[in-house]
């Protein structure tokens, strides 16, 4: 009942602001109000998180929680577009929040400036409608997958390194695959940009697609990448999409 009573409705000014989305066939005012009443949990405010967060906020998401325990360094600036030279030494969360508030001051932005454990992530997940995995390490991705399954909150996972990017969406359901169903099919190199490098626009491409997937899942607009893996080779500008089969013996999502 409290969710119904507290539901926000679009103002005339907001309807004008988001009119180009509202005009899309099948999107309309109702879906824009879904965004207005939705909260997104973004794990990591590096290259992927900066790109994803700015598009979510610009698109009219009602609330976003950004989680990152790191500070802004000079080597971040070529790809983490919410941070600038004036932010060097500041926490990434506070730097990102300042930039996001300039994009859309009506969005409620919460900062968590520490690394969350499993229990804390579960608690956060229950307060949000979707999780964006914008982390840069396998351990975090595995934990977020477990949290997504246990709390029944959709997860949009992105990764980018060198000239290669990938994105997939996991919607908890007995018939759907999870991240572990995918990761067990290959030996994932737990590399970061520090060891392997990454091209600046690549993280923008993947992060923006994570925001797009989140909007689609939240509003039921279009077809999300559930049970699919999309790979991007920036060197050849080639996209490939593969089906992800659910593993009946998966340790995380098996019934």
Residues linked to residue 158 through DSSP beta bridges, in sequence order: 167
What percent of the chain is helix, strand and coil (3-state, nearest 5)?
40, 20, 40
Q: What is the spatial distance between Cα 57 and Cα 36, in angstroms, rounded to a whole number?
A: 10
**Mean of pLDDT over the chain:** 93
Backbone angles phi, psi at 225, to 5 degrees: -85, 40
- Measured distance between the N- and C-terminal CA atoms of the chain, rounded to whole angstroms: 31
> So what's the pLDDT on residue 163?
96
Residues linked to residue 64 through DSSP beta bridges, in sequence order: 40, 109
CA-wise closest residue to 109 among 39, 48, 18, 204: 39
Reported as a pLDDT band with limits 50, 70 and 90, residue 183 is confident
Is the pLDDT at 2 greater than 50, yes or no?
A: no
Q: What is the spatial distance between Cα 51 and Cα 205, in angstroms, rounded to a whole number?
A: 8
pLDDT per residue as tens digits for the range 120-146: 999 999 999 999 999 988 889 999 999
Tokens of 139: 């351990």
CA-wise closest residue to 157 among 73, 230, 60, 65: 230
> So what's the pLDDT on residue 6?
78
> So what's the pLDDT on residue 194?
61
pLDDT per residue as tens digits for the range 202-219: 999 999 999 999 999 999
pLDDT per residue as tens digits for the range 46-85: 999 999 999 999 999 999 999 999 999 999 999 999 999 9
pLDDT per residue as tens digits for the range 99-115: 999 999 999 999 999 99
């Amino acid at each position: 009942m409290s969710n119904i009573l507290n539901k926000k409705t679009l103002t005339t000014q907001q309807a004008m602001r988001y009119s180009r989305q509202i005009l899309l066939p099948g999107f309309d005012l109702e879906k824009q109000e879904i965004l207005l009443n939705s909260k997104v949990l973004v794990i990591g405010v590096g290259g992927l998180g900066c790109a994803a967060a700015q598009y979510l906020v610009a698109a009219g998401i009602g609330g976003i929680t950004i989680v990152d325990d790191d500070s802004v360094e000079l080597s971040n600036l070529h790809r983490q577009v919410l941070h600038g030279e004036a932010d060097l030494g500041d926490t990434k969360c506070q730097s990102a929040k300042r930039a996001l508030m300039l994009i859309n001051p009506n969005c409620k932005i919460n900062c968590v400036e520490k690394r969350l454990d499993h229990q804390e992530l579960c608690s956060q997940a229950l307060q949000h409608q979707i999780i964006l995995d914008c982390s840069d390490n396998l351990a975090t991705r595995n934990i977020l997958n477990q949290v997504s399954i246990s709390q029944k909150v959709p997860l949009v996972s992105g990764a980018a390194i060198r000239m290669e990017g990938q994105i997939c969406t996991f919607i908890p359901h007995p018939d759907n695959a999870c991240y572990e169903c995918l990761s067990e099919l290959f030996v994932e190199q737990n590399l970061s940009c520090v060891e392997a490098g990454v091209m600046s626009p690549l993280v923008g491409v993947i992060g923006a697609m994570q925001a797009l997937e989140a909007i689609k899942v939240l509003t039921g607009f279009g077809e999300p990448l559930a049970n699919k893996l999309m790979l991007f080779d920036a060197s050849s500008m080639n996209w490939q999409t593969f089906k992800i089969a659910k593993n009946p013996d998966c340790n995380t999502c098996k019934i």
